[in-house]
Amino acid sequence: MEHSKLGKLQIIAWHQLHFRQLAHQKLSVIRVQQLDSPKSKPLWLGWHGEQIPNLIEIVDLYLRRLTIEHWYRFSKQRLHWTLPNLGTKEQCDRWSDLMPMVTWELWLARGMMEDHPLPWQKAQSNLTPGRTAQGFGAVIAVVGTPALSPQPRGKSPGSKKGQIRNKRKRYPIVKKGKGKFESQKKKHKKDEISLINLNICFSYLLIV
């Protein structure tokens, strides 16, 4: 295949593969080799999704990965993507589905709102998603909400008598073990310290 930036590419894909302990999760493995540069190493990519796009499109998506990383950082820090402690996979999926929707709302609202900088911030003419979220309360005040206003109701009746409440499902704690590289690095460091101590002792004996 001919790519506009990378030149001639050889792209090979293997479909319907899976990890040893995840047989139900199918994925595709793609190898991208740049033919114009013989010294370049092959690029290995993995695709997991409902429908795999065109192979040349996958290369373009991979080249755009750095811009996507900024969105992940924004979703975690500003939209609180990883903040809730949700109990089920379905709840996690629904919460994750809200993140792109909220991002698009901020993107569409940035042209209809004014900048509300904090005292130590500089004014912006082209608002970023973070600055738009900072002043999004003014938009909500104008648009309103379909929810009913809260009403006092007194003491709640609580759960019905005899109703059984299911306990939250608990999962084992996953701990990160020490990798082989880290263990070898510590071992080499100990060997270096022992060698330094040996050199010091040998130098002291020569002086004496």
Q: What is the pLDDT of residue 188?
A: 55
Q: What is the pLDDT of residue 36?
A: 82
Average pLDDT of the chain, as a whole number: 79
Q: What is the pLDDT of residue 99?
A: 93
Q: What is the pLDDT of residue 96?
A: 94
Domain assignment present for 173: no
Task: Give the percent of the chain with pLDDT over 90.
Answer: 13
Domain assignment present for 191: no
The SS3 of residue 116 is coil
Q: What is the pLDDT of residue 43?
A: 86
Name the pLDDT band for 81 (thresholds 50, 70, 90).
very high
**Based on the domain organization, do 56 and 18 belong to the same domain?**
yes
Predicted confidence (pLDDT) per residue in 27-51, tens digit: 888 888 888 877 888 888 888 877 8
Residue 48 · residue 25 · CB < 8 Å? yes
What's the maximum distance between 2 C-alpha atoms anywhere in the chain? 91
Domain assignment present for 190: no
**Parent domain of 134:** 74-117+128-140
Overall domain count for the chain: 2
